[in-house]
Structure formats: structure tokens, C-alpha cells
């Protein structure tokens, strides 16, 4: 733990402000380590930075990059775009996005970067990569560290700031990326539809990386959704706030890639909106295996990010008492009088969003002919599985199933 202090004093009081960070997560950064700052500019970027080692990113080899204020390390060209697009991008842009959003370092915060062949730093990154990829023989010869230190968002009227980091490393053949999230307090700038006081709402940040085609990309879970605010508590290496990847060929530790998203070993999902294709991430070959499956009778198929899950259905009861007292599914009591056909319950969700059978229940309510009588249900009809089941209450009539008589009441 490294602690820095700032002291403000007067004859009346002394205030001590402590800033702490966990150097076990973030790699060292700042002026003490001869880092360079990017300009204080809205949507700004560093000049092109020649790098001293080949960095292979999927099918391409790069020898220069840019550090962009808006949370992106890009190759070939800077990225000034402040509202992120979801991955994949197919416009040829190749970049690593630890937290692509509308950063404004003119308000507060710094964006640092450096490339290094420092022996101690290379030992540290080598040790980390060998823990996460034990089957690889990797000795780092180059490392690049870009850090967004307590940066604000465009249009901010708050004190909310984010601190995150991208680490790129290579030995000239194998290439790896580590993304670190120490403290994430906002997700979007005002020009992206975010709230000036909370930094939330609008179009949230996109995190991961993109090779510029429709095939080679990755989304950090929660990207482009409000859930990205929780990225500092997520990981694919069991270190909260750290995500690690091999990117000369795409590989991740401790899980599988499914539709450019991460699944931990043992995770079970459904790939389609009918929950008829059940998939599981298995450790044998880091693969996702799918087979036919379906939800249980008391479950419903619901969307969950890039996949679907079978979720338990909530149970409730509605009642009709004496033909004019109605208790709805949420427990509210209502009173209606008058001869009419009432729809008591029916499926209202679009059919493609669940695997439940459509149904419709209605009742004919008859008012009494005299003041001494009470309203009552004369006929009850239910439509389900393409059949109509009808009964006349309080008579000796038969039950009608699609207009055919069955049994007696």
C-alpha cells in the first residue's frame, strides 16, 4: 500500500487528506516513474508513440500507438470519438479500450503513459503472465503502461472520478494485455447523454478491444450497459478489477469465449430466446458445448446480456368473488358492477420472448333482475393450446371443449 498525503493548515485547524492505492493491482505510474502526460484537451490524444518491440494484435503487427484521453490505446490513428460504439467495429480501427467514454482531463485528473524495459517491471509482468498462462513460455522484453488517474467526465458538476489502466507487453512474438480497474465512479459524459451530477445514464462506456473487423473483438462484461459501473469488482483471473488476455492469438485464462464474451468454467447459459439450446463452458479445451434443452415448467426464458437464462416464474392468484369483487395478481381489490364480459387474465408478453403457451380467460357477469339478487358469473371461458373450454356456472350443463360436450357439472 502506497500512501500520499496533502496537508492544509491554518491557525484554526489542520486537515489531512489521504490518497491510497493498491500497487498489487495497478502497475507503478506517474511523474516518479518518468511517465509522460497527454495534453489537457477535450477528446485529445498523445502524439504517435513509436514502440521499441513488435506488438502482434490478432493478424496485425504494430510498431506505434496513441494514448487517447477518452480511455483508448489505439494503433495507426488516434480516437477522438467521445460516445462509444458497441464492439465489433468493422471500420478497420484497431484499439484497446480499457474504458472508452468521454473523459475530460481539463476538469481534473491526468492521463499518463510510458514504455519501459526496466528490469524490475519486466520481471513483474513476466511473473503475472506466467501465472495466468502457465502453458506459455513467456519472458517479457517490453511493457507499455497507460494510466487514467482520477479523471473526470465531460460536463461534470460532481467530484466523481475514475482510475483505470492498460498494460501491454510483448517478447516480440507473444503479446498480452492486462486491463486494471481500481475505482470506477462514472460511466458516461454529459454529451453522451449522462447526468452532469452522477455521470450515469446515456450511453455507458465500452470496454475490451477491437481489431476492426467483425470477428476479432472482445467485450468486458457489462460494456455499453449501466452494469459497467461494477467493472472494478469483476475479473477473469480471480483478482477483482483485473482482466488478462493473450492477443497475438486470442486466448483467455479460466474460461471460454462465446460470441466475443467471457464465460467462466462451468457457466451454463441458453443461446437462443426460446431457451432450447443449452450451453456450458468446459475446461477441456476452453470450449463451449451446446445441446438441446429447455426451461422447467415453472421457469421462463429471459434475456441476460448476450445470452438467455431460465428464471423462476413469480406466482400469484387473482380472484372473482360474487361476480363483482375482483382481486388482481398484485393483491389489489376492485369492485365492478354491470352485465359485461370481463377479461380475467391473459398472456400479454410477446410470444417470442418466452416459452409459455398463450392463454386467455374471460367471464360473463350477469346482473340480477331484482334488487335482492347479487351479480354472478354466468359463463367462464378459457382459451389455451388452441382449445376453448367453457362452462355455465350453477347449471347442469356440460363442459364444452371447442364446442364439444364433456361430462356434467
pLDDT digits (tens, 9 = 90+) for 207-232: 999 888 878 888 898 999 999 999 99
Q: Which three cell numbers stand for residue 202?
A: 446515456
User: 176-186, pLDDT tens digit by residue?
Assistant: 999 999 999 99
In whole angstroms, give the CA distance from residue 390 to residue 393: 10
> What average pLDDT does this structure show over 194-203?
96
Q: Report long-range pairs for 42-50 (Cβ below 8 Å, ≥24 apart).
A: 42/69, 42/104, 42/106, 42/154, 43/69, 43/70, 43/80, 43/81, 43/82, 43/102, 44/68, 44/69, 44/80, 44/105, 45/69, 45/74, 45/78, 45/79, 45/80, 46/78, 46/113, 49/113, 49/115
The structural domains of the chain, with segments of one domain joined by +, span 26-253, 261-315, 319-406
Residue 360's pLDDT is what? 83
Point out the least confidently predicted range of 10-14, 189-193, 388-392. Answer: 10-14
CB 115 within 8 A of CB 197: no
Asked if residue 22 has pLDDT above 70, the reply is: no
- What confidence category does residue 20 fall into, taking pLDDT thresholds of 50, 70 and 90? very low
CB 72 within 8 A of CB 100: yes
Asked if residue 6 has pLDDT above 60, the reply is: no
Q: Which three cell numbers stand for residue 343?
A: 377479461
Q: In angstroms, what CA-CA distances link 207 with 32, 130, 232?
A: 28, 24, 12
CB 206 within 8 A of CB 85: yes
In whole angstroms, give the CA distance from residue 318 to residue 333: 10
Asked if residue 18 has pLDDT above 50, the reply is: no
In whole angstroms, give the CA distance from residue 345 to residue 351: 16
pTM: 0.66
Amino acid at each position: 500500500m502506497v500512501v500520499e498525503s496533502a496537508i492544509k493548515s491554518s491557525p484554526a485547524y489542520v486537515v489531512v487528506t489521504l490518497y491510497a492505492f493498491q500497487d498489487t493491482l495497478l502497475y507503478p505510474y506517474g511523474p516518479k516513474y518518468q511517465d509522460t502526460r497527454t495534453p489537457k484537451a477535450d477528446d485529445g490524444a498523445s502524439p504517435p508513440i513509436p514502440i521499441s518491440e513488435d506488438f502482434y494484435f490478432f493478424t496485425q503487427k504494430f510498431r506505434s500507438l496513441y494514448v487517447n484521453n477518452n480511455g483508448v490505446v489505439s494503433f495507426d490513428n488516434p480516437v477522438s470519438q467521445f460516445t462509444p460504439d458497441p464492439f465489433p467495429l468493422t471500420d478497420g480501427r484497431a484499439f484497446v479500450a480499457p474504458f472508452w467514454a468521454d473523459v475530460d482531463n481539463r476538469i481534473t485528473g491526468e492521463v499518463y503513459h510510458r514504455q519501459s524495459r526496466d528490469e524490475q517491471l519486466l520481471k513483474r509482468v513476466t511473473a503475472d503472465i506466467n501465472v495466468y498462462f502457465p502453458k506459455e513460455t513467456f519472458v517479457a522484453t517490453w511493457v507499455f503502461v497507460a494510466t487514467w488517474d482520477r479523471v473526470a467526465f465531460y460536463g461534470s458538476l460532481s467530484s466523481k472520478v475514475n482510475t483505470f489502466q492498460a498494460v501491454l507487453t510483448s517478447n516480440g512474438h507473444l503479446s498480452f494485455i492486462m486491463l486494471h480497474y481500481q475505482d470506477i465512479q462514472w460511466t458516461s459524459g454529459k454529451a453522451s447523454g449522462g447526468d452532469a451530477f452522477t455521470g450515469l445514464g446515456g450511453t455507458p462506456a465500452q470496454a475490451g478491444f477491437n481489431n476492426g473487423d467483425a470477428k476479432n473483438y472482445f467485450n468486458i462484461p457489462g460494456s455499453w450497459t449501466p452494469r459497467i459501473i461494477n467493472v472494478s469488482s469483476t475479473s477473469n483471473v480471480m483478482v477483482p478489477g483485473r482482466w488478462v488476455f493473450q492477443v497475438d492469438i486470442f486466448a483467455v485464462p479460466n474460461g471460454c469465449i462465446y460470441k466475443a464474451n467471457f464465460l467462466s468454467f462451468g457457466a451454463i447459459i441458453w443461446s437462443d430466446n426460446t431457451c432450447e439450446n443449452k450451453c456450458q463452458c468446459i475446461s477441456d479445451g476452453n470450449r463451449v458445448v451446446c445441446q438441446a434443452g429447455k426451461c422447467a415448467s415453472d421457469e421462463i426464458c429471459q434475456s441476460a446480456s448476450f445470452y438467455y437464462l431460465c428464471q423462476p416464474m413469480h406466482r400469484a392468484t387473482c380472484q372473482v368473488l360474487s361476480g363483482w369483487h375482483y382481486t388482481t395478481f398484485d393483491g389489489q381489490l376492485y369492485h365492478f358492477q354491470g352485465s359485461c364480459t370481463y377479461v380475467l387474465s391473459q398472456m400479454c408478453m410477446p410470444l417470442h420472448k418466452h416459452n409459455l403457451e398463450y392463454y386467455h380467460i374471460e367471464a360473463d357477469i350477469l346482473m340480477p333482475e331484482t334488487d335482492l339478487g347479487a351479480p354472478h358469473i354466468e359463463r367462464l371461458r378459457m382459451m389455451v393450446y388452441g382449445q376453448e373450454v367453457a362452462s355455465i356456472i350453477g347449471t347442469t350443463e356440460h363442459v364444452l371443449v371447442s364446442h364439444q360436450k364433456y361430462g356434467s357439472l
